[in-house]
Amino acid sequence: MAFRFRGAAARALGAARGPGATGRRCVPCSQVAFGPSCLQRWPRNVRNMGGMLKTLDPRVFIVVEVKRDEPGVLGTVLKIFSDSGLNITHIESRFKTFARDGPAFHIDIQGSAEDASVQQVLKEVKGLPGVHEIGVMPDREVPWFPMNIRDLDLTTDTLDGGAALINQDHPGFSDLEYRKRREDIVAAAKRFRHGDRLPRVQYLESEVQTWKAVYVRLQGCHRQWACTEYLEMLKQMELYCGFAPDNIPQLEDISDFLQQRTGFMLRPISGLLSARDFLNALAFRVFYSTQYIRHHENPFYTPEPDICHELLGHVPLFANPAFADFSQEIGLASLAASDDDVARLASLYWFTVEFGLLKEGDKVKAFGAGLLSSFGEMEWSSSHTPSQECRDSGSMSHQERPVLKPLDPAVAAKEPYPITTYQPVFFVAESLTDAKRKISTFCDTLTRPFFPQYDPLTQNIVVTKAIRRADRVSTVQMQQEKQKEFFEKQQEQ
């Protein structure tokens, strides 16, 4: 059986594949019911909160150059900050020039340069005998990133620029009714803004039958190869979120449940996002989910993520605290990260959130959504003896079993992987807590422009340094620019 994704970006989105994998899209619009907007929603012209946040929680970047590198000099400087009640949020030392032997201390504090207390500190530190110079530096410019959860409204440009994702080899390509249905569901996702109620879809009988076929077939596999945490949470979802073979659950109900368990919430999406935008949302404990379902002609095949993949693969484990934490950790590390680091984090996401395994006694069990939503790849990854049929269906006839490596995020972040076949390599964590610890340690090793924290009360990202966000370049714009560059280079040749 053939299957494939729509390009590399699908990897970071956790595209589903293989027999029994989950994909996307559905049918007629008159039968789609969407909830009313939340009355407390902010006006739609309230968008970019960056400037406002800067005013609410300002930082000052100060550089102190000392004459000699000797014990106690930093302590003397810091005592003045401390005595003035100024809160230092970041500090590092650097050797600035060869002319003096003293280092320069880069210090970020909470406050504004105009504050009387800051001015007083500048004066006092400058008067210290060991200090050569002190000054307030301009904020460092960093790539744009969402600072408030509302900024996610600006990061929903899909990689296809909003065009329909169905292409010629999609099972629903020639089914006009199916395409119309899918367009209607996608349109609701496009209209969605933070604060709106999540769209409720009234699924058609044919769609429920597709869901049922997938649900029932996966049940047996889950009992055998899904990790215990997943099975426990799936039971909870059956109790509280409407998970059942005869019912496709609503994102709104699941999101409410997840918020009460781990603070995670769901947000509808219309298509494939860039890896950066997708990972950034995880920093806010937001997971983008499709709502359409694969074509009914073949319930066990999908070329892209759909509601089966999202709900039966991803959602249950977002109710697990350790899993939720390391998913957010990856998201926080992606904020304003370099393109190379975003690629590393996307790869780590792939080998954990999508295709992660963990140890249970002498067995390995699946916790990745790409496995949990694909009976074929679940068997391939977790069985001691994957059947010939299973191997053939994943283009793995040449390999008896996958290679299992202990989870090492630094290795996983660089491990190449195919997107059109089953994975030849998997990483196995000792447990979800072990995965959390290792991912956290790995994220600390990345070169980061600042260290962010998420404040769940205000839904803001709090940073350690005085920074200024560069203008946002949308994914679509970026693509257009890259395309232009490509054609210009071709013309030059």
Q: Which residue is catalytic, options 170, 309, 347, 379?
A: 309
Q: Is 309 annotated as a binding residue?
A: yes
Q: Whole-number minimum distance, CB 369 to Fe ion, in Å?
A: 5
Q: Whole-number minimum distance, CB 305 to Fe ion, in Å?
A: 5
Q: For Fe ion, which stretch binds (CB under 5 A), given 2-10, 260-268, 369-377, 485-493?
A: 369-377
Q: Which residue is catalytic, options 207, 229, 329, 354?
A: 354
To the query of whether residue 327 is one of the catalytic residues in this protein, the response is no
Among 12, 14, 66, 251, binds Fe ion (CB under 5 A): 14
Residue 81 or 318 with smaller CB distance to Fe ion? 318
To the query of whether residue 194 is one of the catalytic residues in this protein, the response is no
When CB distances to Fe ion are compared, the closest residue is 14
Q: For Fe ion, which stretch binds (CB under 5 A), given 7-15, 171-179, 180-188, 376-384?
A: 7-15
Residue 14 or 103 with smaller CB distance to Fe ion? 14
- Residue 369 within binding range of Fe ion, rule CB under 5 A: yes
To the query of whether residue 90 is one of the catalytic residues in this protein, the response is no
Residue 14 or 102 with smaller CB distance to Fe ion? 14
Residue 181 or 314 with smaller CB distance to Fe ion? 314
To the query of whether residue 373 is one of the catalytic residues in this protein, the response is yes
Binding map of Fe ion across residues 138-167, x = CB under 5 A, - = no contact: ------------------------------
Q: Is 194 annotated as a binding residue?
A: no
Q: Whole-number minimum distance, CB 115 to Fe ion, in Å?
A: 47
Q: Whole-number minimum distance, CB 254 to Fe ion, in Å?
A: 15
Residue 61 or 225 with smaller CB distance to Fe ion? 225
SS (H, E, C) the chain: CCCCCCCCHHHHHCCCCCCCCCCCCCCCHHHCCCCCCCCCCCCCCCCCCHHHHHHHCCEEEEEEEECCCCCCHHHHHHHHHHHCCCCEEEEEEECCCCCCCCCEEEEEEECCCCCHHHHHHHHHHHCCCCEEEEEEECCEEECCCCCEHHHHHHCCCCCCCCCCCCCCCCCCCCCHHHHHHHHHHHHHHHHCCCCCCCCCCCCCHHHHHHHHHHHHHHHHHHHHHECHHHHHHHHHHHHHCCCECCECCCHHHHHHHHHHHCCCEEEECCCCCCHHHHHHHHCCCEEEECCCCCCCCCCCCCCCCCHHHHHHHHHHHHHCHHHHHHHHHHHHHHCCCCHHHHHHHHHHHHHHHHCCEEEECCEEEECCHHHHCCHHHHHHHHCCCCCHHHHHHCCCCCCCCCEEEECCHHHHCCCCCCCCCCCCEEEEECCHHHHHHHHHHHHHHCCCCCCEEEECCCCEEEECCCEEECCCCCHHHHHHHHHHHHHHHHHHC
Q: For Fe ion, which stretch binds (CB under 5 A), given 217-225, 254-262, 363-371, 416-424?
A: 363-371
Residue 355 or 454 with smaller CB distance to Fe ion? 355
Total residues in contact with Fe ion, by rule CB under 5 A:
2
Q: Is 354 annotated as a binding residue?
A: yes
- Residue 269 within binding range of Fe ion, rule CB under 5 A: no
Q: Which residue is catalytic, options 229, 310, 314, 393?
A: 314
Give me the active site residues, please.
Answer: 309, 314, 354, 373
| Interface positions with Fe ion (CB under 5 A) | 14, 369
Q: Which residues are annotated as a binding site for Fe cation?
A: 309, 314, 354
